[in-house]
């Protein structure tokens, strides 16, 4: 009988979901926790907390096998570019060779028949995980509530105004901290969550309805200004963003506004069975982050 503690690797450890997943697992003494970082410098804050680190860069395939040596379970989270498919395949190939047993994959929104391109990319990764015969848990978060806090250090809500590109359509949302909690549970208890695909979305709202909630809860006027999605595309092009991905996001915005994505406002009741508690909904999220929204 093998009584060794399982080694759990967290990729994307310096990102918000990765950090929150680590935080949820850090106090558990039944596992050995390892954070994957792109450089020794990025690993220092984790080492200071007593978390072991390994150097792993998805774009440096030679870094994969050493980082995966001795790993039993892995949280796979890649960046937002079309390269994620190549990166995921290389990671999974090396993980299989290293004897990794369970993969928790952070995917994207959508039903199985989605034709939103970057959501579908993640579903190809899901199928590859299954084809390689890993034990798996697929996580499909809907839109992150944190997107309303800011992006790349720039606040999303400025002086009470939300400028976005989805018309007046409602769609499904999830708190990123809840996604991290679900990931942690799937890593801790693979026997319970293996073979599962969890769509994580618990509150369907439009930006207009969110602005109305903010007005009511924070006692100041908030409003939503719906912009053409073409403005987003031009902004991304001017910023030098990776356009294969950004064109997908543009298409997603257009289709969301037109309400032509099947299931874009789907919500689910699976969170208590995954984590043992209720998910965060918009009223609670607004109260939790009132200082960020305030002006």
Per-residue pLDDT of the chain (295 residues), as tens digits, is: 456 999 999 999 999 999 999 999 999 999 999 999 999 999 999 999 999 999 999 999 999 999 999 999 999 999 888 999 999 999 999 999 999 999 999 999 999 999 999 999 999 999 999 999 999 999 999 999 999 998 777 889 999 999 999 999 999 999 999 999 999 999 999 999 999 999 999 999 999 999 999 999 999 999 999 999 999 999 999 999 989 999 999 999 999 999 999 999 999 999 999 999 999 999 999 999 999 999 9
| Residue 32: strand pairing partners | 7
281: how many CB neighbours lie within 10 A of its CB? 16
Strands 32-37 and 52-55: parallel
Give the span between the Cα atoms of 98 and 179, in whole angstroms: 27
Look at residue 26 and give its three-state secondary structure.
coil
> Would you give the distance in Å from CA 24 to the centre of its chain?
15
User: Mind listing the domains of the chain with CATH numbers?
Assistant: 7-141+175-200+266-279 (3.40.50.720)
Q: For position 151, what pLDDT does the model report?
A: 78
Task: Find where tokens 């792993």 sit.
Answer: 56
* 3-state DSSP assignment of residue 139: strand
Closest to 171 measured CA to CA, from 132, 145, 190: 145
The rounded distance, in Å, linking the Cα atoms of 129 and 106 is 12
pLDDT at 80: 86
194: CB partners within 8 A, 6+ apart: 102, 135, 136, 137
**What pairs with residue 155 in β-bridges?**
150
Q: Which one, of 234, 265, 266, lies nearest residue 250 by Cα?
A: 234
Alpha-helical (H) ranges within 26-106 are 40-48, 64-68, 84-98
The count of C-alpha atoms lying within 13 angstroms of the C-alpha of 237, restricted to the half-sphere facing its C-beta, is: 8
């Amino acid at each position: 009988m093998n009584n060794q503690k399982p080694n759990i690797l967290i990729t994307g450890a310096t990102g918000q979901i990765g950090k929150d997943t680590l935080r949820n697992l850090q106090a558990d003494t039944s596992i050995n926790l390892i954070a994957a970082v792109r450089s020794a410098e990025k690993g220092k804050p984790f080492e200071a907390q007593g978390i072991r680190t390994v150097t792993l860069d998805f774009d440096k395939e030679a870094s994969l096998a050493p980082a995966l040596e001795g790993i039993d379970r892995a949280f796979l989270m890649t960046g937002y570019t079309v390269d994620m498919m190549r990166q995921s395949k290389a990671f999974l190939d090396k993980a299989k060779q290293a004897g990794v047993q369970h993969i928790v994959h952070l995917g994207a929104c959508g039903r199985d028949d989605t034709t939103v391109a970057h959501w579908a990319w993640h579903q190809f990764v899901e199928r590859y995980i299954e084809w390689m015969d890993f034990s798996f848990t697929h996580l499909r978060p809907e839109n992150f509530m944190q997107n309303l806090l800011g992006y790349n250090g720039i606040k999303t809500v400025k002086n009470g105004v939300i400028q976005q590109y989805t018309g007046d359509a409602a769609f499904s949302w999830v708190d990123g901290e809840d996604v991290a909690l679900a990931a942690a549970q799937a890593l801790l208890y693979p026997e319970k969550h293996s073979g599962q695909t969890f769509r994580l979305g618990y509150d369907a709202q439009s930006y207009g309805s969110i602005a109305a909630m903010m007005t009511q809860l924070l006692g100041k006027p908030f409003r939503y200004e719906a912009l053409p999605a073409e403005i987003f595309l031009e902004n991304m092009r001017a910023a030098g963003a990776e356009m294969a991905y950004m064109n997908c996001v543009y298409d997603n915005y257009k289709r969301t506004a037109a309400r032509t994505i099947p299931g874009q406002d789907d919500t689910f009741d699976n969170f208590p069975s995954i984590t043992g508690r209720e998910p965060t909904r918009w009223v609670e999220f607004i109260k939790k982050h009132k200082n960020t929204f305030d002006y």
